[in-house]
């Protein structure tokens, strides 16, 4: 409407100046008069300038960003005759439609004058009367108030003789909530009487409550009403929501001789209209009191300022000069909850404090001074806790001819730092302190920060910074130094093991807005560690990095980059520019042995880059002498002098090979490139003088040759390889330029031993053949064809066994490998594996495994043969299950003559400067834990596999050694996983005895179980009675080192029990010879007497049992037993008189046995035995 009034004035002035009906002239006059810098007014369809009713079809106003307001259908109905009497009488000033797309872009204006101009209505030479101002439709775009709004406007305006009155009614229409703003105001210059009545109200969900984000969007009403002379004026304010008062108060304005005094007293309960997280902070009562005076010259005196809420109290006074500088200030504040609970800060997300105190003052009688302090206790954030934070400072504010100056010293301290991130907490420590001095002069436009000091746990910093052009380019310059005494505390933060100390110094200047910088950087380190063994050895002494870099509008200049460590020197320099770059660098390491045992030789490398990423050139030249990299096969290849030369092109970010050559006495490889338009071709030729250098079993030269051609369709490959032992391979076909798909034929044959480089210390040998096709995306699902292994052998030193005569066929199709393989075990027996394996991330398998008489043994512990069927199903990466049933053939568990436990703890030997071959041997023996883990130990352990395997042996499980000879039978079920085996069941006694110095005890119990280890646990017991004493001997524990105990009832010492057991008398009644015999018996049972003569005879004759017994009459007898089938056991007994007897046991089923006997004395017998466990 203000613009419309201006237009009306122009319409009045235009005819008076022109007095002609010239539409073009008037339109131009209006546009030129109303337009200015940053504002363009366009008038369309102007008519009736000389009539009582002027109309304009459209008026648009634009700024630098375009049209922001449009008025359509503007009408001015006025009285020309009234103008002759000095009255501007307007019947109607209206617009059919006003559209405001967005707020206008306002040009910056000069700062207002500090002097107040006072208030009065303008004294005009004419009176103005506008009966009706109206807009049938007002449309505000979303950019104005946050959402689209439509409404209507009606108003009237009277201004005459220094008196004025305005009435306005703005009503919101459309689909949104209803709303209305009503204004009725009048003022008279003569009486200085101001009457004001403003009412603004909205229905629930209205525009204002939405902008203020008031919860639940209540209906709102604001009333401002006042009446009285302007020199002693008071206005009442009332804010209510949903009919309830929320805020009420009075604002007063009182004139004084040289200015006016402003007062305010406002209180209320804002809790119902605050967000829930703000209610606790502000509480149910908020109050503001203000008493301030402003002179006509602009000086402000605040005698009283009080702001109070539940958790906030802020009070103070101040005197501020007309130029804005404080002359006196005394402000204090406290933030704390009345009940002492933590305070949630209203405008800091997820932040609480226990208490905060603030103070800012100037010294008495010294207007230029300032001092302040802030103390925060119990700062608590989700990511950080600080027990106490203190910041304090002091300084001066002054005026000079150059402008306003500000300076001072600030220091701070944080105590009880506790980040929730343990890594960050370890790095920062619990305390951090810092200080700096600052100085700012308005005319210089620069902020100086000097004497910067920072100290924390193992970390210090110092320096000075100057920030210039605060209103322009923000040029920062200075020098900063940071020192760390031990990088170890930063290890968890970096995710690797760090160590050592360092000092970093940076000096230079930079502009954030323009991207300019000119920097010198130096870093000096001592005993650095980065968690990588070879680098840690290289950096163990002193090391340094120095760089000098400048970046401006011409490009980036690397004046120098120097890196130095123990024997390592690296340098680089040059320029990077969008117009062309030129970089060069060198690197040399005089002795690779600093990297650790197994490394040696020297290496140098020169590199250059010239041109642009779209069209550049890279050259590399390297020289190595007698290189060793702690890998036996690679060391053989690198012996002597090695040379590297490469000439590469860079075209549109893609590297092109012009020429490349690698040469040493063992290996020669060359690549030459040819570019013909869009076609690029590379010829490859490589020759290894003797493949036996890396695969000892295969001697002779290995060659690879072929071409790779690229054009718009992709790459065409044709590569061939030949070598000793009829090694032949060919790869031909195409690959797309984006490497997403291919059509390749891959065929050939060779020696499986080539894979030993990847699986060491395991090994494989045999003949490999393959005929494959890769068609489609570069993924295993696109691979089809056949792979074979014949006459193969696979060995793993950890298992002590090998697979021999391996015949395997793998058929690939649709991402699945169909495997069919057979092999023999080096110790005896056969193995077969059949089934599919999905070649995806989960590696789902469904394999059937058949075992036929596999001989498993440990020369000192056990020997058995295993047959049966197993199934391995599920993802091989974890979660697969091995199930099935196995049957044990004749099995012997040997209780060794001496336990193995004494050998398990090897001496802790520290190897000093061991050679590479020695270290390789120790690695393969599993004596280098760290190296073994990196070389495949972890991969050998693999993922845990679920178990559900039943192992059965109805009989012929023998335990022998240390005088024990027992036969067991039973069933064992393995559950759990390969990482946590949980056995159930076991093997129990069928028959058995224990011999001690010719005294034979029949076993009453013998059990063999597994308890999470492959070493079985045995529990054997025998007892006898004599002289009213029951003597018992038990052998319990792991089979490789069991414990023997002697007990009795009544209880006697072990040696007494053994004496009565062997000789039938007390220990003090035995002879010296018997004492020696007793000691030998103890030695046998303890594992130091061997298996004995009878045990050796039994083994040599191939018998399952051989025993010499004594009858009750003292006569001796020889007993020999043998299984003649799985369920038939025969035993022959011959006494010293030549009489013999045959015993025959037939196991019909589990628990049911038929026994028969036939003797030379004519005695026979038969019996049926039924046995049940309960």
The DSSP secondary structure of 859-883, one letter per residue, reads: TTTEEEEEEEEEEEEEETTTT-EEE
Task: Supply 248's token pair.
Answer: 């009420």
In eight-state DSSP terms, residue 911 is P
Same domain (yes/no): 426, 534 = no
Same domain (yes/no): 418, 468 = no
Specify the pLDDT at position 932: 39
Specify the pLDDT at position 373: 97
Specify the pLDDT at position 365: 75
Same domain (yes/no): 320, 452 = yes
Interval 1096-1103 mean pLDDT: 61
Specify the pLDDT at position 347: 79
pLDDT of 804 over the 70 cut: yes
Of 407, 433, 457, the one marking the end of a domain is 457
Please state, in angstroms and rounded to a whole number, the distance separating the CA atoms of residues 834 and 825: 17
- Alpha carbon of 428 to those of 59, 418, 425, 484, 1110: distances in Å? 64, 9, 5, 11, 83
Quick check: helix, strand or coil at residue 1032? Answer: strand
Same domain (yes/no): 753, 819 = yes
Tell whether 63 is covered by a domain: no
Specify the pLDDT at position 926: 57
Specify the pLDDT at position 1164: 80
Q: What is the 3-state secondary structure (H, E, C) of 554-591?
A: CEEEEEEEEEECCCEEEEEEEEECCCCEEEEEEEEECC
pLDDT of 807 over the 60 cut: yes
Report residue 473's pLDDT band, with 50, 70 and 90 as the boundaries.
low
Of 566, 597, 631, the one marking the end of a domain is 566
Lowest model confidence (mean pLDDT) among 545-549, 824-828, 829-833: 824-828
Please state, in angstroms and rounded to a whole number, the distance separating the CA atoms of residues 789 and 767: 6
pLDDT of 1128 over the 80 cut: yes
Tell whether 551 is covered by a domain: yes
Q: What is the mean pLDDT of the chain?
A: 84
Of 1116 and 482, which is predicted with more confidence? 482
Same domain (yes/no): 343, 404 = yes
Element (H, E) at 940: helix 938-941
Tell whether 47 is covered by a domain: no
Same domain (yes/no): 452, 470 = no
* pTM greater than the 0.75 cutoff: no
Same domain (yes/no): 703, 819 = yes
Specify the pLDDT at position 1115: 57
Same domain (yes/no): 399, 476 = no
- Alpha carbon of 234 to those of 193, 250, 254, 1112: distances in Å? 12, 7, 8, 132
Same domain (yes/no): 732, 821 = yes
Report residue 925's pLDDT band, with 50, 70 and 90 as the boundaries.
low
Of 550, 566, 582, the one marking the end of a domain is 566
Specify the pLDDT at position 197: 93
Specify the pLDDT at position 31: 80
What are residue 320's DSSP bridge partners?
Answer: 300, 326
Lowest model confidence (mean pLDDT) among 219-223, 468-472, 623-627, 799-803: 468-472
Specify the pLDDT at position 123: 56
Please state, in angstroms and rounded to a whole number, the distance separating the CA atoms of residues 886 and 690: 47
Specify the pLDDT at position 34: 72
Phi, psi of 819 (to 5 degrees): -105, 140
> Pseudo-torsion of CA 97, 100, 106, 112, nearest 10°?
70
Same domain (yes/no): 742, 702 = yes
Same domain (yes/no): 465, 435 = no
Residue with tokens 């056991």: 1129
Task: Supply 104's token pair.
Answer: 């206008």
Contact between 286 and 308 under an 8 Å Cβ cutoff? The reply is yes
Interval 752-777 mean pLDDT: 86
Specify the pLDDT at position 23: 47
Chain segment 1131-1142, per-residue pLDDT in tens: 888 776 767 788
Most confident of 10-19, 146-155, 742-751, 1044-1053: 742-751
Report residue 14's pLDDT band, with 50, 70 and 90 as the boundaries.
very low
pLDDT of 259 over the 90 cut: no
Tell whether 427 is covered by a domain: yes
Tell whether 537 is covered by a domain: yes
Same domain (yes/no): 493, 545 = yes
Output b/e per residue, 549-564; b: 16+ Cβ within 10 A: bbbeeeeebbeebebe
Tell whether 631 is covered by a domain: no
Total domain count, the chain: 3
Report residue 569's pLDDT band, with 50, 70 and 90 as the boundaries.
very high
Please state, in angstroms and rounded to a whole number, the distance separating the CA atoms of residues 609 and 613: 10
**Can you give the residue range of the structural domain that contains 514?**
461-566
Of 704 and 858, which is predicted with more confidence? 704
Tell whether 281 is covered by a domain: no
Please state, in angstroms and rounded to a whole number, the distance separating the CA atoms of residues 808 and 834: 10
Interval 1060-1065 mean pLDDT: 74
Tell whether 441 is covered by a domain: yes
Task: Supply 142's token pair.
Answer: 């979303």
Specify the pLDDT at position 1100: 55
């Amino acid at each position: 409407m203000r613009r419309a009034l201006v237009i009306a004035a122009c319409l009045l002035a235009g005819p008076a100046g022109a007095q002609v009906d010239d539409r073009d002239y008037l339109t131009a006059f209006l546009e030129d008069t109303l337009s200015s810098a940053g504002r363009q007014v366009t008038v369309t369809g102007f008519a009736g300038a000389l009539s009582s009713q002027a109309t304009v079809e459209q008026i648009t106003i634009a700024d630098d960003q375009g049209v922001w307001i449009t008025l359509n259908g503007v009408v001015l109905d006025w009285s020309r005759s009234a103008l002759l009497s000095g009255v501007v009488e307007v019947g109607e000033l209206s617009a059919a439609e006003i559209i405001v797309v967005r707020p206008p872009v306002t040009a910056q204006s000069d700062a207002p004058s500090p002097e107040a101009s006072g208030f009065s209505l303008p004294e005009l030479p004419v009176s103005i009367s506008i009966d009706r101002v109206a807009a049938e439709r007002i449309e505000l775009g979303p950019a104005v108030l946050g959402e689209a709004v439509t409404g209507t406007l009606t108003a009237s305006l009277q201004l005459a003789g220094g008196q004025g009155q305005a009435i306005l009614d703005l009503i919101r229409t459309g689909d949104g909530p209803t709303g209305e703003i009503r204004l009725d105001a009048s003022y008279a210059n003569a009486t200085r009487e101001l009457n004001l009545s403003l009412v603004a109200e909205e229905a629930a969900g209205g525009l204002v409550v939405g902008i203020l984000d008031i919860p639940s969007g209540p209906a709102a009403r604001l009333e401002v009403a006042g009446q009285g002379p302007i020199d002693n004026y008071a206005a009442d304010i009332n804010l209510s929501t949903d009919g309830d008062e929320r805020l009420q108060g009075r604002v007063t304005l009182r004139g004084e001789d040289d200015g006016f005094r402003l007062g305010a007293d406002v209180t209320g309960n804002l809790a119902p209209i605050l967000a829930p997280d703000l209610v606790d902070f502000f509480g149910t009562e908020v109050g503001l009191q203000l008493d301030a005076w402003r002179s006509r010259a602009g000086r402000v005196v605040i005698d009283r300022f009080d702001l109070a809420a539940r958790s906030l109290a802020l009070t103070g006074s101040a005197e501020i000069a007309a130029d804005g500088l404080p002359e006196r200030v005394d402000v204090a504040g406290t933030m704390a909850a009345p009940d002492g609970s933590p305070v949630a800060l209203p405008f800091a997300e997820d932040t609480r404090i226990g208490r905060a105190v603030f103070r800012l003052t100037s010294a008495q009688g010294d207007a230029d001074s300032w001092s302040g302090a802030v103390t925060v206790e119990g700062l608590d954030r989700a990511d950080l806790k600080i027990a106490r934070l203190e910041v304090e400072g002091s300084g001066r504010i002054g005026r000079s001819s150059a402008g306003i100056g500000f300076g001072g010293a600030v220091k701070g301290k944080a105590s009880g730092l506790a980040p929730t991130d343990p890594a960050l907490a370890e790095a920062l420590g619990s305390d951090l302190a810092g200080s700096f001095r600052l100085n700012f002069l308005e005319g210089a436009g620069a902020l100086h920060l000097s004497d910067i000091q920072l100290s924390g746990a193992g970390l210090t910093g110092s320096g000075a910074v100057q920030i210039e052009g605060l209103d322009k380019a923000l040029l920062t310059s200075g020098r900063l130094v940071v020192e760390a005494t031990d990088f170890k505390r930063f290890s968890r933060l970096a995710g690797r093991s760090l160590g050592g100390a360092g000092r970093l110094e940076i000096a230079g200047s930079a502009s954030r807005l323009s991207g300019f910088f000119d920097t010198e950087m130096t870093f000096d380190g001592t005993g650095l560690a980065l968690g990588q063994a070879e680098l840690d050895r290289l950096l163990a002494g002193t090391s340094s990095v120095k760089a000098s870099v400048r970046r401006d509008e011409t490009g980036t200049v690397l004046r120098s980059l120097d890196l130095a460590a123990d024997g390592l020197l690296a340098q680089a320099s040059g320029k990077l520019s969008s117009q062309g770059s030129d970089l060069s660098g060198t690197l040399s390491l005089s002795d690779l042995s600093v990297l650790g045992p197994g490394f040696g030789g020297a290496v140098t490398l020169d590199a250059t880059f010239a041109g642009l990423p779209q069209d550049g050139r890279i050259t590399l030249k390297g020289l190595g002498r007698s290189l060793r990299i702690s890998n036996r096969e690679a060391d053989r290849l690198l012996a002597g002098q090695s040379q590297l030369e490469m000439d590469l092109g860079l075209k549109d970010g893609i590297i092109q090979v012009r020429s490349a050559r690698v040469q040493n006495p063992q290996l020669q490889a060359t690549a030459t490139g040819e570019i013909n338009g869009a076609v690029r071709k590379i010829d490859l030729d490589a020759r290894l003088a003797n493949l036996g250098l890396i695969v000892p079993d295969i001697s002779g030269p290995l060659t690879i040759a072929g071409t790779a051609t690229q054009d718009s369709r992709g790459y065409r490959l044709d590569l061939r390889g030949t070598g000793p032992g009829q090694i032949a391979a060919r790869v031909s076909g195409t690959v797309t330029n984006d490497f997403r798909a291919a059509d390749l034929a891959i065929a050939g044959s060779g020696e499986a031993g080539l894979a030993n480089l990847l699986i060491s210390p395991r090994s494989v040998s045999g003949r490999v053949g393959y005929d494959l096709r890769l068609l489609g995306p570069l993924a295993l699902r696109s691979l089809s064809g056949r792979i074979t292994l014949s006459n193969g052998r696979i060995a793993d030193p950890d298992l002590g066994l090998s697979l021999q005569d391996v015949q395997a066929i793998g058929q690939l199709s649709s991402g699945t490998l169909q495997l069919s393989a057979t092999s023999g075990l080096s110790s005896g027996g056969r193995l077969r594996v059949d089934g599919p394996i999905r070649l995806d991330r989960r590696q789902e398998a469904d394999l059937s495994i058949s075992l036929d008489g596999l001989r498993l043994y440990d020369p000192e512990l056990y020997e058995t043969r295993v047959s049966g069927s197993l199934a391995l199903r599920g993802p091989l990466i974890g979660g697969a299950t091995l199930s099935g049933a196995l049957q044990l053939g004749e099995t012997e568990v040997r209780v060794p003559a001496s336990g193995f436990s004494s050998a398990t703890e090897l001496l802790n030997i520290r190897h000093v400067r061991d050679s590479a071959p020695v270290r390789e041997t120790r690695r393969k023996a599993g004596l280098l834990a760290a190296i073994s883990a990196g070389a495949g130990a972890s991969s050998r352990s693999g993922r845990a596999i679920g178990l559900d395997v039943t192992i059965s042996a109805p009989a012929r499980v023998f335990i022998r050694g240390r005088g024990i000879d027992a036969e067991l039978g039973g069933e064992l079920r393995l559950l759990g996983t390969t990482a946590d085996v949980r056995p159930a069941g076991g093997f129990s006694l069928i028959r058995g005895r224990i011999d001690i110095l010719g005294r034979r005890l029949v076993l009453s119990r013998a059990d063999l179980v597994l308890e999470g280890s492959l070493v079985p646990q045995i529990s054997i017991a025998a007892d006898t009675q004599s002289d009213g004493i029951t003597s018992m001997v038990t052998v319990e524990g792991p089979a490789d080192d069991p414990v023997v105990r002697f007990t009795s009832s009544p209880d006697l010492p072990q040696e007494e029990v053994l004496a009565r057991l062997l000789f039938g008398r007390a220990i003090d009644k035995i002879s010296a010879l018997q004492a020696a015999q007793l000691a030998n018996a103890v030695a046998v049972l303890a594992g130091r007497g061997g298996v004995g003569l009878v045990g050796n005879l039994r083994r040599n004759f191939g018998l399952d049992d051989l025993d010499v017994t004594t009858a009750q009459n003292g006569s001796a007898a020889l007993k020999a037993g043998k299984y003649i089938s799985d369920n038939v056991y025969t035993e022959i007994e011959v006494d010293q008189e030549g009489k013999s007897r045959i015993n025959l046991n037939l196991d019909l089923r589990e628990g049911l046995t038929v026994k028969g006997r036939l003797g030379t004395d004519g005695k026979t017998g038969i019996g049926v035995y039924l046995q049940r466990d309960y």
